[in-house]
Amino acid sequence: NKALATLNLRANSIGPEGANHIGEGLKLNKVLSTLNLGENSIGDRGAQHIGEGLKKNRALTKLNLYDISIGPEGAKHIGEGLKSNTVLTTLNLERNEIGDTGSQHIGEALKINK
């Protein structure tokens, strides 16, 4: 798709398998600028797929991961994606259980993401 700029998949019962497909799409997509995955059960395993997609995506500027059931491990995967992503300007991780360890992973990514 060469026109879809915003995709809202909030509260759609998306789990790790669905996140895998979305992550694969992110790797190739060149136009989607806003993605809302909030209130899904993506979990740490699904966050790994989203993080992989972020590594290669060069279009997404806003990503909402509100309440997607991730912990420190999920934050680590998102952080890994942020390290090489240079276009994302807004990231919402509200209502997840990333804790101090997850915050450390995100912080380390922010040091590299310039």
Q: What is the pLDDT of residues 52-74, one digit of tens each?
A: 999 999 999 999 999 999 999 99
Residue found under tokens 């895998």:
20
84-107: pLDDT as tens digits:
999 999 999 999 999 999 999 999
Question: What confidence category does residue 1 fall into, taking pLDDT thresholds of 50, 70 and 90?
Answer: confident
Angle, to 10 degrees, between the axis of helix 16-28 and the axis of helix 43-56? 0
pLDDT average, residue stretch 26-36: 97
Alpha-helical segments (H) within the chain: 16-28, 43-56, 72-84, 99-112
Mean pLDDT value across residues 4-33: 98
pTM for the model? 0.96
